[in-house]
Chain A
């Protein structure tokens, strides 16, 4: 079983603050790293899929970077808003015939107005 770690487990930030959190994953046999956003009482929704070392993706105020050599990805939120409150999940894509996503436990972000 692959180990995908996310930190911190939860955090609270003030509206307007920028924040970031980390996903660590096995650096060998890398295929892809996914980020999902999961709002309470809703379904997880895909944010980014990252496949290449050095990849940077951006969607509005949210961006992500990828370092496959050292096995980590950062998710950044600039100027946090209350609607950013959600659990952010990363998932490591397992190739080699199984093609499964292994999810981390998530980082729960609460943005305080």
Chain B
């Protein structure tokens, strides 16, 4: 079974609809992240969470919200979807840095392809 799962894998929705993307992990990691990928652009960070009580905005958080329901679950919501939110969305997890180091290797889910019409 995959360590990081995302649901749904594909979603088509209409402008103005509320949509939630879900991420679950069995790696036991404290840190979770949401990224979006657009053609020609790198992965851009939307939100990240270092534990259940810690939520932080990333580079492009406008129009998105998140919920960290448990250590293993991190959801991304689009309150009112718009066409320029059409993208490939990735969830990722990482463990705490090794003491004295800052490696923070991230483990990615399979992605959710979202289309907003």
Pick the residue among A43, A46, A98, A100 that contacts B90 (CB under 8 A): A43
Say whether A103 contacts B103, CB under 8 Å: no
- How far apart are A56's CB and chain B's nearest CB, in angstroms? 16
Residues of chain A within 8 A (CB-CB) of B4 are 43
Whether B42 pairs with A93 at a CB distance below 8 angstroms is no
CB within 8 Å of B: which of A61-111? 89, 91, 93, 95, 98-106
Which of B13-21, B69-77, B106-114 makes up part of the contact surface? B106-114
Give the residue name and chain of the A residue nearest to B101 (CB). Answer: A51
B: residues with CB less than 8 A from A are 4, 31, 35, 40-45, 48, 50, 56, 58-59, 90, 97, 101-111
Query: Is B103 a contact partner of A93 (Cβ separation < 8 A)?
Result: yes
Provide the bound-state CA to CA distance between A89 and B48, in Å: 20
Is B48 a contact of A51 with CB atoms below 8 Å? no
Q: Chain A residues with Cβ under 8 A from B42's Cβ?
A: 4, 89, 102-106
- What's the interface size class on A, roughly? 20 to 34
Q: Are B106 and A101 in contact (CB under 8 A)?
A: yes
Q: Nearest chain A CB to B1's CB is how many angstroms away?
A: 14
CB pair B104–A93 under 8 Å, yes or no, is yes
By beta carbon, the residue of chain A nearest B102 is A31
Which chain A residues lie closer than 8 Å to B106 at the CB level?
A: 34, 46, 101
For residue A5, which residue of chain B has the nearest CB?
A: B42
Complex CA–CA separation, A1 to B45 (angstroms): 11
List the B side residues contacting A42 at CB < 8 Å. 110
Q: How far is the CA of A105 from the CA of B37 in the complex (A)?
A: 9
> Which residues of chain B are within 8 angstroms of A89 by Cβ–Cβ distance?
42-43
B residues near A51, Cβ cutoff 8 Å:
101-103
In the bound complex, how far is the Cα of B101 from the Cα of A58, in angstroms? 20
- B48, chain A: closest CB distance, angstroms: 7
List, in ascending order, chain A residues with CB within 8 A of B31's CB: 99
Q: What are 19 A-B pairs with beta-carbon distances under 8 A?
A: A1-B59, A42-B110, A43-B4, A43-B110, A43-B111, A44-B108, A46-B106, A49-B103, A49-B105, A89-B42, A93-B103, A100-B45, A101-B45, A101-B104, A101-B106, A103-B44, A104-B42, A105-B40, A106-B42
